[in-house]
Structure 1
Amino acid sequence: MPGVDRVPLKRRKISVPTKGKVGTTEAAGLRMMYPMFRQLTPCLALLAANLANAEIRDLILVAGQSNAVGYDAYAEELPSDPKDAATMFWWRVGDPPPDEFDGTSARQWTTLQFQPRTPAMSGDAAKKTGRQYGNFNKKTKGGFGPEIGMVRTLATKETRPLAVIKTAFSGTSVAADWNVGLPGKADACYRSMIDETKTAIAYAKAKDITLRPRAFVWVQGESDANAKDAPAYVANLSAMLKSLRTELDAPDLILLIGVNTRFGNGKNAFMPKIVEAQKEVAAALPRTRYVDTVGAETLPPTHTHFSAAGTLEVGRRFAEALLSLEQIK
Structure 2
Amino acid sequence: MSSIRILILSIFGLAIGLSTAAAAEKKVRLFILSGQSNMVGLDPKVSFTPAVEKEFAGDDVIVVKNAASGQPIRRWYKKWALPAGAAEGSSKPKNGDLYERMMETVTSALGGKKPDTVTFVWMQGERDAKAGWQAVYYEALTGTVDQLRTDLKHKDIAVVVGRLSDNLKNDQGWNAVRAAQEKVAADEPFGAWVDTDDLNGTHDGLHYNKQGYAELGRRFAARAIELNRKQEAKK
Is the pair's TM-score, using the shorter chain for normalization, greater than 0.5? yes
Task: Please say if residues 52 and 61 of structure 2, whose CA atoms lie closer than 8 Å, have aligned partners that are also in contact.
Answer: no
Evaluate the alpha carbon distance shift between residue 317 and residue 210 of structure 1 in structure 2; reply closer, same or farther with a 3 A threshold: same
Evaluate the alpha carbon distance shift between residue 223 and residue 273 of structure 1 in structure 2; reply closer, same or farther with a 3 A threshold: same
Equivalent of 1:279 in 172, 182, 207: 182
Task: Please say if residues 215 and 256 of structure 1, whose CA atoms lie closer than 8 Å, have aligned partners that are also in contact.
Answer: yes
Q: Name the aligned partner's letter for residue 104 of structure 2.
A: D
Matched, 1:150 2:70: no
Q: Name the aligned partner's letter for residue 258 of structure 1.
A: G
Task: Please say if residues 165 and 206 of structure 2, whose CA atoms lie closer than 8 Å, have aligned partners that are also in contact.
Answer: no
Q: Which one has a larger percent helix, Structure 1 or Structure 2?
A: 2
The equivalences for 1:28-177 within 5 A come to 57-70=28-41, 144-146=42-44, 148-159=46-57, 160-175=59-74, 177=75
**Mapped partners of 1:179, 1:219: distance in 2:** 14
Q: Is there any run of 5+ residues in structure 1 with no aligned partner, and where?
A: 1-48, 71-143
Matched, 1:300 2:202: yes
Task: Please say if residues 66 and 171 of structure 1, whose CA atoms lie closer than 8 Å, have aligned partners that are also in contact.
Answer: yes
Task: Give the Å deviation of 1:197.
Answer: 1.3
Equivalent of 2:96 in 187, 205, 214: 187
Evaluate the alpha carbon distance shift between residue 247 and residue 319 of structure 1 in structure 2; reply closer, same or farther with a 3 A threshold: same
Evaluate the alpha carbon distance shift between residue 195 and residue 148 of structure 1 in structure 2; reply closer, same or farther with a 3 A threshold: same
**Mapped partners of 2:202, 2:172: distance in 1:** 19
Number of residue pairs the alignment of both structures matches: 201
Task: Give the Å deviation of 1:318.
Answer: 1.3
**Mapped partners of 1:289, 1:182: distance in 2:** 23
Q: Name the aligned partner's letter for residue 141 of structure 2.
A: L
Task: Give the Å deviation of 1:233.
Answer: 0.4
Task: Give the Å deviation of 1:308.
Answer: 1.3
**Mapped partners of 1:300, 1:268: distance in 2:** 20
Task: Give the Å deviation of 1:200.
Answer: 2.6
Deviations 1:35-91 (A, max 9, x none): xxxxxxxxxxxxxx9998898532211100011110xxxxxxxxxxxxxxxxxxxxx
Bigger-Rg structure (1/2): 1
Q: Is there any run of 5+ residues in structure 2 with no aligned partner, and where?
A: 1-18, 82-92
Deviations 1:174-200 (A, max 9, x none): 13x122205993211111112221233
Evaluate the alpha carbon distance shift between residue 308 and residue 212 of structure 1 in structure 2; reply closer, same or farther with a 3 A threshold: farther
Which ranges of 4 or more aligned residues in structure 1 deviate by more than 4 Å? Answer: 49-56
Q: Name the aligned partner's letter for residue 180 of structure 1.
A: K
Could you state the TM-score of these two structures normalised by the residue count of structure 1? 0.54
**Mapped partners of 1:250, 1:193: distance in 2:** 17
Evaluate the alpha carbon distance shift between residue 236 and residue 53 of structure 1 in structure 2; reply closer, same or farther with a 3 A threshold: closer
Query: Percent identity between the aligned chains?
Result: 28
**Mapped partners of 2:229, 2:29: distance in 1:** 16
Q: Name the aligned partner's letter for residue 146 of structure 2.
A: K
Deviations 1:8-41 (A, max 9, x none): xxxxxxxxxxxxxxxxxxxxxxxxxxxxxxxxxx
Task: Give the Å deviation of 1:291.
Answer: 1.7
**Mapped partners of 1:52, 1:156: distance in 2:** 18
Task: Give the Å deviation of 1:325.
Answer: 2.3
Task: Give the Å deviation of 1:267.
Answer: 5.2
Secondary structure of 1:163's match? strand
**Mapped partners of 1:58, 1:319: distance in 2:** 13
